[in-house]
């Protein structure tokens, strides 16, 4: 896949391809078309992006961890994480029929893995999740009338927290830092 750094070559190739079809475009016109293909209003904006120096990638890049929570009932896990918390089910994996589930759920950039495999995690784990809009999140959850969880807000020295506990005793503490 080419990126914006190939824009001039792309414009030249477009101009040549159109000339074969007897469509006469100037180099300037093809530059404008390519800029729009990359989501920029005009060539000058894309051109400025081309002039930005590339930042060197660090030798080691650590990304956010993905907590793994142990689950024992797939339907209860989906009801809690997808139905109640509003996570999307991204994917599921089983090694075969009647094998334990391993899946990923996510919401707003937060990713969790849920596993029925006995060796993957211990029940009763906890994840601390920095958020913004914890009051709105708490109101959203309260409005769902989920019969097993009525999360409240708690002031802590580091911010406003809302804790939820899944059906398997795993805890998620959502905190809006002060």
* Cα–Cα nearest to 178, from 159, 157, 155: 159
For the entire predicted model, the pTM comes to 0.68
Q: Is the pLDDT of residue 40 over 50?
A: yes
pLDDT of residue 100: 96
DSSP assignment of the chain equals ---GGGHHHHHHHHHHHHHHTT----HHHHHHHHHHHTT-SSHHHHHHHHHSPPPPPPSS-PPPP--EEE-S-HHHHHIIIIIIS--EEEEEE-SSTTPPPEEEEEETTEEEEEE--TTT--TT-EEEEE-S-HHHHHHHHHHTT-TT-----EEETTEEEEEEE-TTS-EEEEEEE-
Q: Is the pLDDT of residue 51 over 90?
A: no
Q: Average pLDDT over the chain, rounded to whole?
A: 90
Q: Is the pLDDT of residue 8 over 70?
A: yes
Domains annotated for the chain, with CATH where assigned, are 4-51 (no CATH), 68-177 (3.10.180.10)
pLDDT tens for residues 79-132?
Answer: 999 999 999 999 999 999 999 999 999 999 999 999 999 889 998 999 999 999
pLDDT of residue 159: 96
The structure tokens 């993905």 sit at 66
Cα gap 44→61, rounded to integer Å: 32
Burial of 104 from C-beta contacts in 10 A (0-12 / 13-18 / 19+): middle
């Amino acid at each position: 896949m080419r990126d914006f750094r190939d824009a001039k070559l792309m414009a030249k190739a477009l101009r040549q391809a159109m000339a074969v079809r007897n469509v006469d475009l100037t180099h300037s016109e093809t530059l404008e078309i390519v800029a729009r293909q990359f989501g920029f209003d005009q060539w000058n904006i894309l051109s400025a992006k081309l002039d930005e120096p590339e930042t060197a990638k660090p030798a080691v890049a650590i990304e956010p961890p993905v907590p793994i929570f142990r689950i024992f009932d797939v339907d209860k896990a989906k009801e809690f994480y997808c139905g109640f918390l509003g996570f999307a089910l991204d994917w599921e994996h089983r090694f075969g029929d009647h094998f334990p589930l391993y899946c990923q759920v996510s919401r707003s950039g937060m990713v969790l893995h849920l596993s029925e495999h006995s060796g993957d995690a211990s029940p009763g784990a906890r994840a601390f999740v920095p958020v913004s809009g914890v009051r709105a999140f708490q109101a959203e959850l309260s409005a769902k009338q989920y019969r097993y969880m009525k999360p409240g807000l708690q002031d802590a020295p580091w911010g406003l927290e809302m804790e939820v506990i899944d059906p398997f005793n795993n805890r998620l503490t959502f905190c809006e830092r002060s």
